[in-house]
Structure 1
Amino acid sequence: MASTWESAHPLSHGPSWDAAPSLDIAAAPPQSGVSGLYALALQGQWRQVIGRCKELRPASRADSLTIATFHVLALAQLNQTMDALQELERVGNLDGSGSHAARRGHAGKHSAPDASEVPFALRWLAAELPGRAGRWMEAVSAFQALLGLCVTQSGIAEREGDAEASRLWGGRRARAAAALANVHAQQQQYPAALAVLDAQLGADPRRIDTWLHAAQVQLRVGDLPGAEASVASAAFLAGEAEGPAAAHGMRAVRHARGLLAVARQDWPAAAAAFSSCLREDARDAEAVGDLAVCQLFNRNVESGVAVLEAGFQAQPWAMLKAPLVSSLALMYDLARPDSGAKERFGAWVARIAPDDLDMSCMSPG
């Protein structure tokens, strides 16, 4: 049976955008206390997260750090970067020596956090936020330190024979290496980015995600043969994997092959690759966006509109991201400038959007 992405008629006038969708993720009311922060975050209710963090009184050191993590995260999601950095400063040094402000802030009567007690998410935010503030050297140093922590903890887990901890810290190490490479790439320091990923592959050569991340950096520097070789390595490893890891790996490889086709400006091949990803997982919002862009460059704007409309109707929560909203708004401007479709879509988005979606994305350009 044809999928939603293949059966959407290119000349369809699409959905009416009249009714707000049913979002299962927001169905259950959040619990009170610290546990309710998780539900509010999943619903994208970041302003409520901030309000609750200010009201809560931690009963333990663990509660204090959880509240601080959600508070910093919520501020970051709302692009209040400097406020997030200030809140992070109140927590104190995450390696154990806290400030006076930290002892009087969320920590309450407790002293500064011991390094072993700090949530990994809080450490990640501490590394990521300097880059958002344009402090790139600080971001590099922070992610280098985080990567070093992951290397140390992964080594300890391996020596102790703790397979679960080894997998946990191995995955964190790979993500930290990818983030450090991203910081370098954002500053066009591509040799440094590739060196980080090469070191990660030297330590763990069977990580499919690291090979594919290397391919992305290689594409950015125009090294198409190198990117193809990296994707081929990932494909080989995905073919050897078993169970869910195999399916996930092959889908990631197909997406990467779509990006290779985009680099060659082979739009039909790219569209076929992204469509294949969506047949396997209709929730893949990134593939929806990439497929729509392929249709646009293939001079079939209406098909691009149909792809995005189907995505928003099928998986609204996954699709409510600024680049995807902006893409459909732009395509409405190109394909149906006087139909009112863009205005109806904008009103639909405004009714259901999470707090961190900047509605200015409805006016791309």
Structure 2
Amino acid sequence: MDPLEIEPAFSLSTADDPLTSPFTTLNDLCYELSSLQDLASRGSWRSILDKVDRARKQSLLSKPHEHLTYLAYNSLSLVKLRRFADAAAEIDSMDDDLDSPLYRYESYVQNYPNRRGSMVPFVLRWIHAELPSKLGKQQETLDRFYKLLDFVRTNLNQKMSNEDDDGLNVSVNLWRRRENFVVNSIISHHLGRKEYGVCQKLINDMIRRNEEVKNNPNSSSNVVLLSKLGYIKMQYGDVEGAKATFDRIEKMIVMDDGKEKTEMKNLVSRNKALIYLVGKDYVSAVREYGECIERDGSDMVAINNKAICLMYLRELSGSIQVLEKALEIVPTVALNETVVVNLCSMYELAYVNHSDIKRTLSNWISKVAPDDFDSSSTRIV
């Protein structure tokens, strides 16, 4: 699950099974929801702000869950645009207790006669937890994320008590994905504080929880968690421990065909390349990243890192070509600040007239980039 997707409030925020929803279109769930989702998918965050503002001023939102859905889109758009203080003001307009009766369907029987549970979109809970860190309040973010994890696990346990024998209940799997996501968010914040021991404990506990699930369709989460464990070991210098973890991952993956298996194969190759990078064996790292790109031409981690390795090998023209080709072939995937910063750095090393080249790149970016793209990454003075 992409944590920043906003699920329809009726289908995924209630205690009901989403598959039993009587609604057939997104707009049946919430006023012009399909339009909001389309704008979000295109990164048109400013247009979302305008749309929400117009809907509020014209009193177009008639039900409580619609107000919450629009608040979620508005808050997410403000976060995407790095307007964190404004996003905090949006969140502060709510009761600090997101489980308040104010936000439960059964409190509005006249509107929702047959529904129960929370109508708060999950993304609002995530923003509520994440936002303090953007305002310099790291500990408050961690406290809120641990509270969110308790909320997720409580709901997961409730769903599991009603789970079908085959273990493939849609709602259960949704809450498992949310659990994995929240744990990963917590790990990222502890990692930023260099609290490696806490990170390892969280990862090992989550791996154990995933392994206890019979026929878990999200079992690939353990592979990702193990990779993160390997990266953490490398950060505090345990290269051999990281290599052993990466070897364990390779043995876990069955090399079959299919999109997910391609992603897992690339994960193995990127792990190998990372070991080569630490040993300054850039030629071998380039080979591993090249294999990733052959399997999946949109693997931007491999593309970016291959270009950096080529730069270390003093093959600037090759490194520039790798990134420019990615921007040409998969612009919606390749266009991120890290890639652009690296490409502009390579321009500065390779060309005397790098300002003109960067300006050309900047003009192209202005036409295709989403609203939240940081234009300063081109470093044009």
Report the TM range for the smaller structure's normalisation: 0.7 to 0.9
1:165-184 equivalence runs, <5 A:
165-184=171-190
From 298, 302, 315, the counterpart of 2:317: 302
Q: Alignment partner of 1:35: what SS?
A: helix
* C-alpha RMSD of matched pairs (Å): 2.6
Contact 1:95 1:115 in 2 (8 A): no
What TM-score do you get using the length of structure 1 for normalisation? 0.82
In structure 2, relative to structure 1, the CA distance for the partners of 1:169 and 1:232 (3 Å cut) is farther
Q: Offset at 1:72?
A: 0.6
In structure 2, relative to structure 1, the CA distance for the partners of 1:47 and 1:145 (3 Å cut) is same
1:12 aligns with none
1:73 aligns with 76
Contact 1:94 1:123 in 2 (8 A): no
Take 1:165 and 1:364, find their aligned partners in 2: how far apart are those partners?
48
Aligned length: 326
Is 2:5 the counterpart of 1:41?
no
1:187 aligns with 193
Take 1:211 and 1:115, find their aligned partners in 2: how far apart are those partners?
35
Is 2:362 the counterpart of 1:362?
no
Is 2:274 the counterpart of 1:275?
no
Take 1:155 and 1:233, find their aligned partners in 2: how far apart are those partners?
30
Q: Offset at 1:53?
A: 1.2
AA paired with 1:202?
R
- Structure with the greater relative contact order (CA < 8 A, sep ≥ 6): 1 or 2? 1
Q: Offset at 1:241?
A: 7.6
2:5 aligns with none
Q: Offset at 1:238?
A: 2.0
1:229-244 equivalence runs, <5 A:
229-239=244-254, 243-244=258-259
From 216, 223, 228, the counterpart of 2:231: 216
From 257, 262, 265, the counterpart of 1:250: 265
Q: Identical aligned pairs, as a percentage? A: 23
Q: Which runs of 5+ in 1 are unaligned?
A: 1-31
Q: Alignment partner of 1:44: what SS?
A: coil
Give the stretch that moved more between structures: 297-306 or 230-239: 230-239
Is 2:130 the counterpart of 1:120?
no
Take 1:342 and 1:80, find their aligned partners in 2: how far apart are those partners?
27
Q: Offset at 1:209?
A: 1.2
Contact 1:94 1:115 in 2 (8 A): no
Contact 2:359 2:380 in 1 (8 A): no
Give the stretch that moved more between structures: 249-258 or 134-143: 249-258
Deviation track 1:97-150 (CA, whole Å, cap 9, x = no partner) reads 278xx9xxxx9x99xxx8622111111111111122221111111111222222
Give the stretch that moved more between structures: 56-65 or 328-337: 56-65
2:369 aligns with 353
Q: Offset at 1:351?
A: 2.1
1:131 aligns with 133
Contact 1:96 1:115 in 2 (8 A): no
Q: Offset at 1:94?
A: 5.0
In structure 2, relative to structure 1, the CA distance for the partners of 1:199 and 1:345 (3 Å cut) is same
In structure 2, relative to structure 1, the CA distance for the partners of 1:242 and 1:342 (3 Å cut) is closer
1:149 aligns with 151
Q: Offset at 1:240?
A: 7.6
Q: Offset at 1:334?
A: 0.6
Take 1:213 and 1:335, find their aligned partners in 2: how far apart are those partners?
34
1:95 aligns with 98
Q: Offset at 1:201?
A: 1.4
2:242 aligns with 227
Contact 1:228 1:260 in 2 (8 A): yes
Q: Offset at 1:67?
A: 0.8
Q: Offset at 1:249?
A: 1.9
AA paired with 2:322?
V
Give the stretch that moved more between structures: 327-336 or 150-159: 150-159
Q: Offset at 1:325?
A: 0.9
In structure 2, relative to structure 1, the CA distance for the partners of 1:98 and 1:158 (3 Å cut) is closer
Contact 1:218 1:227 in 2 (8 A): yes
What TM-score do you get using the length of structure 2 for normalisation? 0.79
Deviation track 1:71-104 (CA, whole Å, cap 9, x = no partner) reads 11100011111111110111323532278xx9xx
